[in-house]
């Protein structure tokens, strides 16, 4: 039985209250107000270097002798104050200018620098071998590529001028003001911002892109970029984008705060997406065709990052303990956008799902207060969304919308803490929110009972919970209930629950229900059968084989594997049927197919070397890291690494994406337990880069 349901039926969790302090965190440099930042930079992809100047205007609020700018491991060529060489020191972290600055006076600070960033700015090659450059400031600090401010409480109006080869697109925050040719090959792009933002939201992307521009109801240009080779996937990737924009603008009730909105997919991104001011960068794993859209679309990430343009960009947290004001809000409004597109059952089921996860974390004593700066993503995102759902339920939809409007308008272009939000909620609703705050924001354990009481008001959830309570019952006692769940136009989540409760059942009664489930033609129900039925009864073979034709790459992958395992005599037939299916961007179906083809006795023996070469090639940096993960996993299971794939594995172990890097390091550690691979790596070491050699040397050196 799922944890949330079990918890609600048999126990009430003990409540632990954490007293949180919402003391306002002042700027690191309260004596200085930085107003504008104008940067002019050149990018050198070959040497992964940035050179340029940045000029700040600032006013002095109180007399001070020191002002500093964050700058990580740069070469500082000059620093001037009002055109005169400034007294400064630099420790590879901060540029400290020591001049007497007078109250009420405005100064101009100019810094000339160069940098070879180790993070926050990444130089890659795209899938065609073209340069691709992109930034990620949150959690990494933009001060790695431009002297700026790690303090998110320092908001500045930034304008960027970027120089690069004319054959590329250069995209950054703000409105493109002009493009100018510098010489025969180099062009400059100048982008203008009208309002202030935190430095971590600075962004730029360089690459080979085309774009389509649509316009919102309110007249905001919506620029949607794509790789030229992916033109046919534009519609399925950006499905409902303009609708989402219009919905959020209307639902939030505050006009979109920036001049335009851009969305750009990039290779090997660190996260799903990032809400840079007016300029969302997202993983190109969400570039999908019509089939992949059914399983892995961009809708939620699209809406989440767009919601951040208000919650995070327009109003920004003062410090980490108030991170829910960004992530919880973006998560909740993304759910509301999904409700608009996929319906209310989807919305309430997602809330139910997250409540289960939060309850499980509480039972394992892994829960934290929502106001804990070290809270998990589950807490900041999902519990934060639940806190807003509960708040709207408590004060009513009208008061909730007014409170959100007042909160954003009162604190626009400023930094906020939880008290700022709760104060406005109390003013609008006329209610004392202290009990709400203790329960939903400060309490360590997730308030599961209260969550159920809210959800139980929803007819769909009532029906779902009624079915879920049957999980512990024998099939004979619930057969009719399960059968009714598959009647008529089957609800995705009800039908899925029926299949979960059938898992492992092979009786004639179960087979009859599976027959009924197959006949629903519900994509989710059929996918659930494909992914949960490890042993396929012969009486269901024909129906199971039909899953190979479903419009779902997740279903095709699961069906191919389970059919191949269960019916050895038909393996060649299944492989022939799926030989042209690639799958998601990670080539999930194709990589599985190659392994099964290599493992099928007598199947195209003359092509086995080609199959192996293709699988091994997918470990190359030319592919997305998720494709490489699949290929590395399969090669490890086959025990069949080539010299090239071994070298690529070390490249992966030093990759900028930490998830992929850790994945590769685990495989390296496993391989190096075998003396055969130790010898191979000793022989390969000289073919690697200095960075990769240093990593491998550490691994080969006995501890």
Q: What is the pLDDT of residues 301-326, one digit of tens each?
A: 999 999 999 999 999 999 999 999 99
pLDDT of residue 1: 38
CATH 2.60.40.1730 residue ranges in the chain? Answer: 29-206
3-class SS letters over 340-357: HHHCHHHHHHHHHHHHHH
Helix (H) or strand (E) holding 597: helix 588-598
3-class DSSP state of 239? coil
CA dihedral 229, 233, 237, 239 (to 10 degrees): 140
**Given 2.60.40.1730, 1.10.2020.10, 3.30.390.50, 1.20.1290.10, which CATH number is that of 29-206?**
2.60.40.1730
pLDDT of residue 420: 98
Among 583, 586, 537, which Cα is nearest to 560's?
583
Contacts for 505-512: CB closer than 8 Å, 24+ residues apart: 505/475, 506/535, 506/537, 507/475, 509/475, 509/476, 509/479, 510/475, 511/537, 511/539, 511/540
- Give the chain's length: 703
Would you say 31 and 62 are in contact if contact means Cβ atoms under 8 Å apart? Answer: yes
CA distances from 503 to 18, 358, 470, 531, 598 (A): 42, 25, 13, 10, 30
pLDDT of residue 16: 28
pLDDT of residue 612: 98
Cα separation, 481 vs 302, whole angstroms: 38
HSE-up of 283 (CA within 13 Å, CB side)?
A: 20
State how beta strands 261-266 and 279-283 pair: parallel
pLDDT of residue 18: 28
Cα separation, 555 vs 578, whole angstroms: 12
CATH 1.10.390.10 residue ranges in the chain? Answer: 209-313, 318-460
For residue 505, with 0-12 CB atoms within 10 Å meaning exposed, 13-18 middle and 19 or more buried, which class applies?
middle
CA distances from 225 to 179, 192, 242, 272, 514 (A): 18, 19, 14, 16, 43
Cα separation, 14 vs 447, whole angstroms: 10
For 401-515, list the strands marked E by DSSP: 414-416
pLDDT of residue 24: 43
Cα separation, 162 vs 96, whole angstroms: 26
State the pTM of this model: 0.94
Q: Could you confirm whether domain 318-460 is CATH 3.40.50.300?
A: no
3-class SS letters over 510-542: HHHHHHHHHHCCCHHHHHHHHHHCCCCCHHHHH
Among 298, 249, 244, 27, which Cα is nearest to 155's?
27
Q: Write the DSSP symbol of residue 26.
A: P
Max CA distance (Å), the chain:
89
Cα separation, 483 vs 504, whole angstroms: 17
Would you say 592 and 586 are in contact if contact means Cβ atoms under 8 Å apart? Answer: no
For residue 555, with 0-12 CB atoms within 10 Å meaning exposed, 13-18 middle and 19 or more buried, which class applies?
buried
pLDDT of residue 196: 98
CA–chain centroid gap for 361, Å, is: 21
How many helices (DSSP H) and strands (DSSP E) are in the chain?
28, 23
pLDDT of residue 11: 31
Among 647, 632, 651, which Cα is nearest to 683's?
647
Identify the segments of the chain with pLDDT beneath 50: 1-24
Contacts of 684 (CB under 8 A, 6+ apart): 643, 646, 647, 650
Contacts of 80 (CB under 8 A, 6+ apart): 86, 109, 110
Q: Write the DSSP symbol of residue 178.
A: E
CA dihedral 449, 453, 456, 457 (to 10 degrees): -170
Structure tokens at 354: 């997250």
CA distances from 302 to 260, 297, 335 (A): 15, 9, 11
For residue 405, with 0-12 CB atoms within 10 Å meaning exposed, 13-18 middle and 19 or more buried, which class applies?
middle
CATH topology of domain 209-313: Neutral Protease; domain 2 (1.10.390)
Residue with tokens 């700066």: 373
């Amino acid at each position: 039985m799922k944890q949330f349901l079990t918890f609600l039926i048999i126990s009430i969790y003990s409540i632990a209250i954490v007293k949180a302090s919402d003391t306002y965190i002042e700027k690191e440099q309260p004596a200085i107000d930085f107003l504008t930042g104008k940067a002019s930079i050149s990018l050198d992809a070959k040497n992964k270097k940035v050179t340029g100047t940045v000029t700040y205007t600032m006013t002095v609020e109180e007399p001070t002798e020191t002002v500093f700018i964050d700058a990580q491991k740069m070469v500082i060529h000059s620093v001037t104050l009002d055109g005169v060489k400034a007294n400064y020191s630099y420790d590879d972290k901060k540029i400290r200018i020591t001049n007497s600055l007078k109250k009420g006076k405005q100064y101009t600070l100019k810094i000339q620098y160069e940098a070879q960033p180790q993070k926050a700015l990444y130089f890659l090659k795209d899938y065609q071998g073209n340069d691709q450059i992109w930034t990620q400031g949150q959690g990494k600090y933009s001060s790695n590529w431009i002297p700026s401010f790690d303090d998110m409480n320092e908001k500045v109006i930034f304008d960027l001028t970027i120089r690069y080869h004319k054959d590329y697109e250069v995209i950054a925050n703000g409105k493109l003001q002009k493009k100018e040719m510098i010489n025969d090959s180099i062009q400059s792009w100048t982008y203008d911002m009208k309002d202030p933002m935190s430095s971590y939201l600075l962004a730029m992307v360089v690459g080979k892109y085309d774009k389509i521009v649509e316009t919102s109801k309110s007249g905001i240009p919506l620029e949607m970029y794509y790789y030229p080779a992916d033109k046919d996937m534009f519609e399925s990737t950006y499905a409902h984008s303009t609708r989402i924009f219009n919905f959020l603008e209307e639902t939030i009730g505050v006009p979109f705060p920036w001049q335009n909105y851009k969305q750009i997919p990039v290779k090997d991104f660190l996260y799903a997406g990032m809400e840079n001011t007016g300029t969302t960068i997202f993983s190109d794993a969400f570039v999908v065709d019509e089939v992949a859209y059914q399983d892995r679309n961009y809708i939620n990430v699209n809406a989440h990052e767009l919601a951040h343009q208000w919650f995070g960009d327009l109003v920004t947290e003062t410090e980490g303990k108030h991170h829910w004001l960004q992530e919880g809000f973006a998560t909740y409004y993304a759910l509301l956008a999904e409700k608009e597109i996929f319906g209310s059952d989807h919305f309430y089921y997602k809330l139910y799902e997250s409540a289960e996860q939060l309850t499980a974390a509480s039972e394992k004593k892994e829960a934290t207060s929502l106001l804990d700066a070290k809270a998990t993503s589950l807490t900041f995102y999902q519990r934060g969304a639940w806190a807003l759902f509960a708040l709207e339920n408590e004060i009513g939809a009208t008061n909730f919308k007014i409170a959100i409007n007042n909160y954003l308008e009162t604190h626009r272009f400023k930094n906020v803490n939880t008290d700022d939000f709760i104060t406005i909620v109390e003013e609008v609703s006329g209610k004392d929110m202290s009990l709400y705050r203790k329960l939903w924001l400060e309490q360590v354990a997730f308030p599961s009972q209260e969550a159920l009481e809210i959800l139980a008001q929803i007819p769909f959830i009532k029906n779902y919970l009624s079915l879920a309570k049957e999980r512990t019952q024998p099939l004979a006692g619930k057969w009719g209930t399960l059968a009714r769940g598959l009647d008529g136009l089957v609800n995705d989540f009800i039908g899925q629950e029926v299949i979960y409760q059938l898992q492992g059942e092979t009786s004639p009664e179960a087979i009859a229900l599976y027959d009924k489930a197959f006949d629903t033609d519900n994509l989710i129900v059929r996918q659930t059968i494909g992914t949960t039925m490890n042993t396929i009864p012969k009486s269901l073979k024909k129906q199971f084989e039909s899953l190979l034709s479903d419009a779902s790459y997740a279903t095709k992958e699961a069906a191919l594997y389970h059919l191949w395992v269960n019916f050895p005599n038909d393996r060649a037939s299944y492989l022939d049927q799926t030989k042209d299916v690639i799958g998601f961007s990670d080539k999930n179906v194709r990589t599985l197919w190659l392994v099964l083809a290599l493992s099928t006795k007598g199947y195209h023996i003359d092509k086995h070397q080609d199959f192996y070469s293709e699988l091994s090639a997918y470990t190359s940096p030319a592919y997305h890291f998720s494709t490489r993960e699949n290929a590395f996993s399969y090669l490890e299971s086959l025990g069949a690494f080539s010299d090239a794939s071994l070298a690529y594995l070390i490249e992966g172990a030093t990759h900028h994406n930490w998830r992929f890097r850790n994945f590769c390091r685990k495989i390296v550690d496993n391989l190096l337990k075998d003396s055969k691979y130790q010898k191979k790596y000793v022989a390969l070491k000289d073919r690697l880069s200095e960075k990769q050699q240093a990593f491998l040397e550490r691994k080969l050196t006995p501890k």
